[in-house]
């Protein structure tokens, strides 16, 4: 297959002004009539070429005259009409089969309802159209269906007409006044319950809010509704953005490839990211719902009103919108805790991607299937790039640039260059060097070297950066890297300093390292400092520092930058685990670490949510990314052994903490209450590393007494770590209690997939034949197969290679009907070069087997073949 390249971009040959769609909904044979008002874009004599995949043609007409069969050509991918006027109306009719559509792209059925997913290229599975984001048109949509089976008929914009028809049918007409690309089209039809609310915007307009869910589930949408209203308010206050339509709708569906989708005025959500009550959702689910509701809502301005010129610009809307939702969550739940969680997610998902064969630019320059680029790099690293821009420009200038962007580009499809230009224009700064963040893949390594001169009271700080080669990019340039820093003396007191060339002493500075190596001089430094660098994780890099462990202990105890306080604990734990994994355990260091953690836990000033994060050690996969070559079994053993030491050393303290945080009274979803639950569950999880009866009993008691899903899962997960009969009993009880709740049963599958026991793969294999396992449902499939491959490194990387073979089997099976979901599971095999050679060879063999399979989708082919390069 031929790749699509950014450098080949051409403006569309034809533009569409108006789209009229008419749907006659039938599960197996839906008729779609379309009337497009088209005009030639510029002077050329090109034919009209429209995308259309697996459409059954019924008729084609121009300006009311049916075309003869030889006047057009239809291939499996498009419709071409050789000669058309400069301006005309094209009418087509096709038939599609939503019930048979298991790729969940285009129009399909989920739980007996019609729903759609068009991003990135699903609209072409509905009707013939120039399916590209730079064709913006006004849509009118008429939907007709059986009234009893499909009582609600929804599409984008405003409902302008509806009524009953003969034969038990009914119809609705929706008009969307805002021109939009076709990937934002949506249609939902079926039986749904409604949760209604409203919001008054900053200019005093009343907007009706509706959330549609499975019958009987409306109460579970209350939290999402509340999140939506807070998002609307926040976007007004923070970015001056007001909602534009009179109606905003969200629909929850169970079968969905993505998390959620920002269709204009009609967001469609994976039900796992919308429905919550204390009994069935964990605090993590609540957090995610709040963040994703905000994310999709924020897209209305960053994505919909201003959209992407082409799919290479995906980060223009995604990186920016993730940055916006992260800022929102930080304001809602506490900036530091949110920042730590975001960085953990970046390290868990983006760093491995950037260190392997699938590494790509934040703005890629070629692809086979754009579906493969909905990645952590484009989303999360894309958000980091925006955050750095804000750090470099300052909050006020950043806001000015955003204002200009909204003003200049509203109603258009644009590029990342145009976005950055707005910030260059308002600040007068040359941002061309900054642009390299979009074009250079790989995680830079930042080396920090400090030399203190006690006599001169001066600190010389040498910062250097280097980025390892990534596929297609052997030579890397230095990037402008904002480094926020401060100094502490060895008693933990803040030290002031004067940066060379400045007079006023400061306690914090942001320097921008824009060369491979730079030495900075700080004067007036009263005593030997511990240097706190990259505060707040001011750039998405990996820090390598020669500072002695004692400096990290100072930071762990006293760094006023709480991110770095947490980071110091992570660094200490990382070094201890890697030393042990390499066969050189530092027992004294481990004891010292345990002591320091004990003190940190006693700190009355620290929030429980923060302490919970302190207690969780770097994950096995984070550790694998930084060890070369990675030995997952050794990493696991070493990590567990440090956990066990903490559990034993801090046992009484952890049990007291666990007991003392027990909740009384009514459940609250607030960040504070969630923080207490997080700390209590983190204490239990740590105790699980010491599976003595006293701790097993505690976990059993915790599980049995759980009054909410967070605690139930906390108990179940602790029992999972300890294994044996108590875990089996809890699993059975949990299943019996929740078997009617698909979202909860997803968790039941996932917790088993993470089991560290020897027979974990056998258990997972067994679960693939469980009556509740359904590979056609992406949530269930990911809960079992995805969790095993990405969340259970020690078992997935079993030396037999059975884990790899299992994953390849699953990818191939699902690829037959849902390529998008299958392709997302290739990544765990992609890192083969980073693992012990025996493992790497086995991983590679499975990738080769995948690539050699006949009839493979482009999606899986692209990732598996790139992974082999
Ligand atoms: N555009 C969606 C999102 O919000 C993904 N389909 O990330
Ligand atoms: Zn998005």
| Topology of domain 4-191, CATH | Immunoglobulin-like (2.60.40)
Mutation probe of ligand 1 site: the residue of 123, 180, 259, 383 with most atoms within 8 A of C-beta: 259
Using CA positions, which residue lies closest to atom 3 of ligand 1? 261
Handedness of CA 145, 147, 150, 156 (dihedral sign): positive
Cα 319 to ligand 2 centroid, rounded to whole Å: 8
**Nearest residue to 336 (alpha-carbon basis) of 680, 611, 602, 678:** 611
C-alpha–C-alpha distance, residues 53 and 724, integer Å: 51
Mutation probe of ligand 1 site: the residue of 181, 374, 376, 383 with most atoms within 8 A of C-beta: 374
Strand bridging mode 4-5 / 113-117: unpaired
Residue 499: CB atoms within 10 Å: 16
**Which atom of ligand 1 is found nearest the CA of 292?**
4
- Report the Cα–Cα distance between both ends of the chain, in Å, rounded: 16
Query: Nearest 10 degrees: CA dihedral of 156, 162, 165, 171?
Result: 0
* Secondary structure (3-state) at 509: strand
Strand partners, 207: 199
Q: Residue 664: pLDDT above 90?
A: no
**Which atom of ligand 1 is found nearest the CA of 120?**
6
φ, ψ of residue 127 to 5 degrees: the values are: -160, 170
φ, ψ of residue 548 to 5 degrees: the values are: -70, 160
Top-tier CATH class for 445-539: mainly beta
The pLDDT, as a whole number, for residue 663 is 84
The pLDDT, as a whole number, for residue 543 is 98
Q: Is 224:197 a contact under the CB 8 Å cutoff?
A: no
User: Tokens representing 439?
Assistant: 């074009």
Using CA positions, which residue lies closest to atom 6 of ligand 1? 261
Residue 584: CB atoms within 10 Å: 8
Query: Nearest 10 degrees: CA dihedral of 581, 584, 587, 592?
Result: -80
The residues, any chain, with a CB within 8 Å of residue 519's CB and separated by 6 or more, are 460, 461, 462, 463
The pLDDT, as a whole number, for residue 665 is 87
Cα 859 to ligand 2 centroid, rounded to whole Å: 20
The pLDDT, as a whole number, for residue 714 is 98
**Quick check: CB of 337 below 6 Å from ligand 1?**
no
**Nearest residue to 366 (alpha-carbon basis) of 439, 456, 273, 277:** 439
Give the pLDDT confidence of 184-216 residue by residue, as tens digits: 999 999 999 999 999 999 999 999 999 999 999
The residues, any chain, with a CB within 8 Å of residue 150's CB and separated by 6 or more, are 25, 113, 114, 189, 190, 191
**Quick check: CB of 287 below 6 Å from ligand 1?**
no
Q: Is 10:130 a contact under the CB 8 Å cutoff?
A: no
* Secondary structure (3-state) at 269: strand
Crossing angle (nearest 10°) for helices 725-738 and 693-705: 10
**Which atom of ligand 1 is found nearest the CA of 259?**
5
**Quick check: CB of 325 below 6 Å from ligand 1?**
no
**Quick check: CB of 262 below 6 Å from ligand 1?**
yes
User: What average pLDDT does this structure show over 494-523?
Assistant: 95
* Secondary structure (3-state) at 612: helix
User: What average pLDDT does this structure show over 791-799?
Assistant: 97
Residue 740: CB atoms within 10 Å: 7
Mutation probe of ligand 1 site: the residue of 318, 325, 326 with most atoms within 8 A of C-beta: 318
- Parse the chain into domains and list their residue ranges: 4-191, 307-439, 445-539, 614-868
Kindly provide the residue ranges of all beta strands, DSSP E only, lying in 454-568, ordered along the sequence: 458-466, 481-489, 494-495, 498-499, 509-513, 517-523, 529-533, 542-545
Q: Which helix (H) or strand (E) holds 385?
A: helix 382-393
* Secondary structure (3-state) at 486: strand
Task: Give the active site residues.
Answer: 296
* pLDDT confidence bin for 628, thresholds 50/70/90: confident
**Which atom of ligand 1 is found nearest the CA of 317?**
1
**Which atom of ligand 1 is found nearest the CA of 321?**
4
**Closest ligand to Cα 257:** 1
Cα 487 to ligand 2 centroid, rounded to whole Å: 38
φ, ψ of residue 83 to 5 degrees: the values are: -130, 125
**Quick check: CB of 223 below 6 Å from ligand 1?**
no
* Secondary structure (3-state) at 572: helix
Q: Residue 447: pLDDT above 90?
A: yes
**Quick check: CB of 258 below 6 Å from ligand 1?**
yes
**Closest ligand to Cα 120:** 1
User: Tokens representing 325?
Assistant: 């939702």
CA 511 to chain centre: 29
Cα 51 to ligand 1 centroid, rounded to whole Å: 22
CB-count burial class (<10 Å; 0-12, 13-18, 19+) for 203 = exposed
Give the pLDDT confidence of 284-298 residue by residue, as tens digits: 999 999 999 999 999
Crossing angle (nearest 10°) for helices 632-649 and 671-687: 100
**Closest ligand to Cα 321:** 2
Using CA positions, which residue lies closest to atom 2 of ligand 1? 261
Look up the CATH architecture of domain 614-868: Alpha Horseshoe (1.25)
C-alpha–C-alpha distance, residues 112 and 375, integer Å: 30
Q: Which residues surround ligand 2, an ion (CB under 5 A)?
A: 318, 321
Q: Return left, alpha or beta for 24; rule: phi > 0 is left, psi -120 to 50 is alpha, else beta.
A: beta
**Quick check: CB of 119 below 6 Å from ligand 1?**
yes
C-alpha–C-alpha distance, residues 860 and 858, integer Å: 6
Q: Is 280:737 a contact under the CB 8 Å cutoff?
A: no
Alpha-helix residue ranges (DSSP H) falling in 739-770: 742-753, 760-767
Cα 13 to ligand 1 centroid, rounded to whole Å: 27
CA 785 to chain centre: 18
Work out the percent of the chain whose per-residue pLDDT is above 90. Answer: 98
**Quick check: CB of 296 below 6 Å from ligand 1?**
yes
* pLDDT confidence bin for 230, thresholds 50/70/90: very high
**Closest ligand to Cα 183:** 1
**Quick check: CB of 295 below 6 Å from ligand 1?**
yes
User: What average pLDDT does this structure show over 37-66?
Assistant: 98
Q: Residue 41: pLDDT above 90?
A: yes
Top-tier CATH class for 307-439: mainly alpha
* Secondary structure (3-state) at 78: strand
* pLDDT confidence bin for 68, thresholds 50/70/90: very high
Cα 297 to ligand 1 centroid, rounded to whole Å: 11
**Quick check: CB of 317 below 6 Å from ligand 1?**
no
- Quote the mean pLDDT of the chain: 97
**Nearest residue to 134 (alpha-carbon basis) of 409, 451, 391, 512:** 409
**Quick check: CB of 324 below 6 Å from ligand 1?**
no
Q: Residue 1: pLDDT above 90?
A: no
The C-alpha angle 351, 354, 360, rounded to 5 degrees, equals 145
Cα 852 to ligand 1 centroid, rounded to whole Å: 31
As for the ipTM of the complex, it is 0.98
**Which atom of ligand 1 is found nearest the CA of 117?**
6
Give the pLDDT confidence of 582-613 residue by residue, as tens digits: 999 999 999 999 999 999 999 999 999 999 99
Cα 250 to ligand 1 centroid, rounded to whole Å: 14
Q: What is the DSSP string of 799-856?
A: TTSHHHHHHHHHHHHHHTT-HHHHHTTSHHHHTGGGB-HHHHHHHHHHHHHHHT-TT-
C-alpha–C-alpha distance, residues 678 and 610, integer Å: 9
Cα 348 to ligand 2 centroid, rounded to whole Å: 19
Q: Is 86:39 a contact under the CB 8 Å cutoff?
A: yes
The pLDDT, as a whole number, for residue 501 is 82
Distances (CA, A) of 789 to 622, 808, 828: 15, 10, 6
**Nearest residue to 750 (alpha-carbon basis) of 714, 718, 781:** 781
**Quick check: CB of 261 below 6 Å from ligand 1?**
yes
Within this chain, domains 307-439 and 614-868 share the same CATH topology:
no
**Quick check: CB of 631 below 6 Å from ligand 1?**
no
Strand bridging mode 78-81 / 72-74: antiparallel
Cα 15 to ligand 2 centroid, rounded to whole Å: 25
C-alpha–C-alpha distance, residues 135 and 18, integer Å: 11
CA atoms within 13 A on the CB side of 795: 24
User: What average pLDDT does this structure show over 834-839?
Assistant: 97
C-alpha–C-alpha distance, residues 297 and 304, integer Å: 10
**How does 779-806 read in b/e, with b if 16+ C-beta sit within 10 Å?**
bbbbbbbbbbbbbbbbbbbbeebebbeb
**Quick check: CB of 186 below 6 Å from ligand 1?**
no
C-alpha–C-alpha distance, residues 704 and 575, integer Å: 37
CA atoms within 13 A on the CB side of 732: 6
Cα 309 to ligand 2 centroid, rounded to whole Å: 16
Mutation probe of ligand 1 site: the residue of 186, 250, 260, 263 with most atoms within 8 A of C-beta: 260
- Three state DSSP letters for 279-298: CCCCHHHHHHHHHHHHHHHH
**Which atom of ligand 1 is found nearest the CA of 299?**
4
User: What average pLDDT does this structure show over 735-739?
Assistant: 98
Cα 270 to ligand 2 centroid, rounded to whole Å: 13
* pLDDT confidence bin for 270, thresholds 50/70/90: very high
**Quick check: CB of 283 below 6 Å from ligand 1?**
no
The C-alpha angle 810, 813, 819, rounded to 5 degrees, equals 100
Using CA positions, which residue lies closest to atom 5 of ligand 1? 261
The pLDDT, as a whole number, for residue 500 is 85
* Secondary structure (3-state) at 158: strand
Q: Is 273:325 a contact under the CB 8 Å cutoff?
A: no
DSSP state of 603: -
C-alpha–C-alpha distance, residues 532 and 526, integer Å: 16
Using CA positions, which residue lies closest to atom 1 of ligand 1? 261
Q: Which helix (H) or strand (E) holds 635?
A: helix 632-649
User: What average pLDDT does this structure show over 330-352?
Assistant: 97
C-alpha–C-alpha distance, residues 670 and 703, integer Å: 22
Residue reference for tokens 């079993």: 798
C-alpha–C-alpha distance, residues 832 and 355, integer Å: 11
**Quick check: CB of 224 below 6 Å from ligand 1?**
no
């Amino acid at each position: 297959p031929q790749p699509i390249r950014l450098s080949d971009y051409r403006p569309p040959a034809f533009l569409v002004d108006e789209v009229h769609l008419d749907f006659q909904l039938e599960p197996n044979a839906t008729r779609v009539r379309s009337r497009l008002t088209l005009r030639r874009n510029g002077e050329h004599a090109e034919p009209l070429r429209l995308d259309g995949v697996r459409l059954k043609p019924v008729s084609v007409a121009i300006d009311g005259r049916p075309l003869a069969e030889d006047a057009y050509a239809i291939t499996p991918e498009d419709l071409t009409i050789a000669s058309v006027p400069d301006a005309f109306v094209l009418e087509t009719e096709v038939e599609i089969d939503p019930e048979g559509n298991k790729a969940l792209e285009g129009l399909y059925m989920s739980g007996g309802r019609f729903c759609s997913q068009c991003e990135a290229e699903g609209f072409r599975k509905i009707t013939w159209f120039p399916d590209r984001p730079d064709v913006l048109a006004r849509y009118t949509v008429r939907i007709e269906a059986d009234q009893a089976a499909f009582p609600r008929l929804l599409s984008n914009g405003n409902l302008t007409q509806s009524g009953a028809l003969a034969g038990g049918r009914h119809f609705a007409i929706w008009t969307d006044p805002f021109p939009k690309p076709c990937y934002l089209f949506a249609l939902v039809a079926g039986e749904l319950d409604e949760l209604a609310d409203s919001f008054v915007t900053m200019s005093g307009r009343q907007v009706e809010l509706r959330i549609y869910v499975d019958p009987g589930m409306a109460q579970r949408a209350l939290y999402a509704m509340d999140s939506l209203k807070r998002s609307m308010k926040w976007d007004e206050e923070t970015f001056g953005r007001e909602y534009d339509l009179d109606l905003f709708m969200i629909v929850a569906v169970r079968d969905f490839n993505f998390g959620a989708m920002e269709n204009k005025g009609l967001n469609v959500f994976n039900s796992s990211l919308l429905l919550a009550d204390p009994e069935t959702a964990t605090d993590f689910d609540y957090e995610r719902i709040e963040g994703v509701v905000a994310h999709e809502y924020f897209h209305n301005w960053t994505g919909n009103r201003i959209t992407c010129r082409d799919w290479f610009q995906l980060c223009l809307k995604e990186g920016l919108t993730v940055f916006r939702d992260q800022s929102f969550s930080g304001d809602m739940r506490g900036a530091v805790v949110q920042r730590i969680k975001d960085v953990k997610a970046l390290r868990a998902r983006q760093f491995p991607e950037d260190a392997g064969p699938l590494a790509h630019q934040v703005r890629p320059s070629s692809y086979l299937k754009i579906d493969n680029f909905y990645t952590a790099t484009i989303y999360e690293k894309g958000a980091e790039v925006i955050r750095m821009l804000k750090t470099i420009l300052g909050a006020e200038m950043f806001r000015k640039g955003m204002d200009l962007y909204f003003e200049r580009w509203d109603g258009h499809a644009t590029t990342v260059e145009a976005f950055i230009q707005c910030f260059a224009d308002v600040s007068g700064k040359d941002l061309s060097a900054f642009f390299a963040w979009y074009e250079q893949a790989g995680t830079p390594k930042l080396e920090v070297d400090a030399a203190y001169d006690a006599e001169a009271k001066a600190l010389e700080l040498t910062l250097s950066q280097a980025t390892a080669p990534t596929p297609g990019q052997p030579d890397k340039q230095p990037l402008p890297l904002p480094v926020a820093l401060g100094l502490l003396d060895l008693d933990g007191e803040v030290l002031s300093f004067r940066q060379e060339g400045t007079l006023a002493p400061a306690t914090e500075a942001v320097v921008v390292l824009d060369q491979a190596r730079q030495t900075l001089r700080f004067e007036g430094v009263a005593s030997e400092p511990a240097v706190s660098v990259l505060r707040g994780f001011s750039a998405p890099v990996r820090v390598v520092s020669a500072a002695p462990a004692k400096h990290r202990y100072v930071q762990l105890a006293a760094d006023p930058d709480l991110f770095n306080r947490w980071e110091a604990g992570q660094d200490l734990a990382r070094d201890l685990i890697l030393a042990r994994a390499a066969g050189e355990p530092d027992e004294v260091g481990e004891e010292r670490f345990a002591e320091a953690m004990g003190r940190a836990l006693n700190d009355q000033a620290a929030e429980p949510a923060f302490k919970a994060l302190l207690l969780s050690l770097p994950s096995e996969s984070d550790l694998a990314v930084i060890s070369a070559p990675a030995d997952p079994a050794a990493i696991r053993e070493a990590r567990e052994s440090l956990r066990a030491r903490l559990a034993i050393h801090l046992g009484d303290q952890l049990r007291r903490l666990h007991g003392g945080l027990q909740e009384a009274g009514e459940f609250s979803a607030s960040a504070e209450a969630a923080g207490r639950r997080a700390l209590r569950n983190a204490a239990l999880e740590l105790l699980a590393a010491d599976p003595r009866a006293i701790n097993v009993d505690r976990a059993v008691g915790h599980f049995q007494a759980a009054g909410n899903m967070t605690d139930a899962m906390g108990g179940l997960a602790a029992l999972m770590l300890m294994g044996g009969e108590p875990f089996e009993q809890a699993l059975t009880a949990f299943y019996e209690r929740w078997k009617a709740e698909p979202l909860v049963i997803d968790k039941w599958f996932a917790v088993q997939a993470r089991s560290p026991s020897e027979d974990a793969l056998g258990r997972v294999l067994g679960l693939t034949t469980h009556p509740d396992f359904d590979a056609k449902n992406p949530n269930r499939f990911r809960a079992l197969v995805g969790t095993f491959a990405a969340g259970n490194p020690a078992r997935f990387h079993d030396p037999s290679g059975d884990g790899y073979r299992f994953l390849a089997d699953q990818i191939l099976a699902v690829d037959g009907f849902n390529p998008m979901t299958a392709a997302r599971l290739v990544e765990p095999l992609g890192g083969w070069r980073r693992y012990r050679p025996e493992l790497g060879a086995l991983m590679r063999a499975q990738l080769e087997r995948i690539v050699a399979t006949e009839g493979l989708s482009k999606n899986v082919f692209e990732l598996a073949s790139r992974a082999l390069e």
